[in-house]
Structure 1
Amino acid sequence: MIWLMLATLAVVFVVGFRVLTSDDRRAIRGLTERLGIDAVPVESMIDQMGKEAGREYLRYLQQADEKRLLNAAQVLLIWQVMIVDGSEQHLHTWYRRLRKARLATPLTEAHIRLAFGLLRELEPDMQELNQFQTRYNALFMPEDNVYTLH
């Protein structure tokens, strides 16, 4: 009889957890499906952002129109290349993912400010972010196609 009560409690816990986090999972799924990746990189980034910044990012994703999805993807790119792995190969891999998902745009000042704010607990260096922006745009964005998102 005790095992039945424990099993019921476990089922209630799992179902409750899934219901409570369904909006978050749906928001993450929108980005990961578009990029063709699993949820682990996005969830890892959200965990490293800290509680408040992670909530901000999730709220941002939940309002996922095309512009917000693009901005969220650019923050993920910045985190992947600036925090996780700064190698050229990793940068090119993420650029190909963004291009395939039709989310490859020049990194703008707005993207850098958004990433700086969301990654604040990781204490990013604004000068390094600006250098990354310059490097990324020089590698992947021809001068005549560079535009600014507002």
Structure 2
Amino acid sequence: MIWLMLATLVVVFVIGFRVLTSDSRRAVKRLSERLGITPVSIESMVDQMGRAPGAEFIAWLSRPDEAHLQGAAATLLVWQVCIVDGSDDNMATWHRRLQKARLAGPLSDAQLRQAMGFLRELEPDMQELQLFQARYNALFSDQDSVSWLH
């Protein structure tokens, strides 16, 4: 009898957890599949954002249009290159992923402010982010405009 109660409790817990987290899992899956990466990269970024900014990011990512997906990808790019690994190889790798997903483009001031808002609990330096934006745009903007012509 105790086993039956424990099994019921586990089933209720698992189903409840899946229902409560379905929106966030769906949003993360949408971006991860588009970029061809595992959801772990996005989930770890959301975890490091903190509770409120992470919820804001998931809500932003859950919106159905392409602009929100591109903004979320830009935030992931900023996090991966400015917070995780600032090497040129890592920046080129993430740019290629964005290109394959058709989410590459110049990093705008609005996208940078948005990323700053989502990553606010990590306290990124705005001047450092602006230097990254200038470097990224200088390296890849000309390359993107040429690739769109072909």
CA distance in 1, matches of 2:87, 2:27: 29
Q: Which runs of 4+ in 1 moved over 2 A?
A: none
CA distance in 2, matches of 1:128, 1:121: 16
CA distance in 1, matches of 2:79, 2:105: 16
Higher helix share: 2
Q: Which residue of 2 aligns with 1:45?
A: 45
Residue 12 of structure 2 corresponds to residue 12 of structure 1 = yes
Q: Which residue of 2 aligns with 1:148?
A: none
- Gaps (5+ residues) in structure 1? 146-150
Q: Which residue of 1 aligns with 2:107?
A: 107
Q: Which residue of 2 aligns with 1:74?
A: 74
> Once the two structures are superposed, what CA deviation does each residue of 1:70-124 show, in whole Å capped at 9, x if it has no partner?
0100000000011111111111111110000000010010011001111000000
**2:8 partner SS:** helix
- Gaps (5+ residues) in structure 2? 146-150
Letter aligned with residue 120 of structure 1: R
Counterparts of residues 1-150 of structure 1 (less than 5 Å)? 1-142=1-142, 145=145
Report the number of matched residues. Answer: 145
CA distance in 2, matches of 1:65, 1:47: 24
- The percentage of counterpart residues that share the same residue type is 63
The root-mean-square deviation of aligned C-alpha atoms, in Å, is: 1.3
CA distance in 2, matches of 1:80, 1:132: 12
> Once the two structures are superposed, what CA deviation does each residue of 1:15-74 show, in whole Å capped at 9, x if it has no partner?
110011111111111111110111001100111101000010011011131011001000
CA distance in 1, matches of 2:37, 2:64: 17
**TM-score normalised according to structure 1 size:** 0.93
Letter aligned with residue 130 of structure 1: Q
CA distance in 2, matches of 1:119, 1:5: 43
**TM-score normalised according to structure 2 size:** 0.93
CA distance in 2, matches of 1:29, 1:99: 18
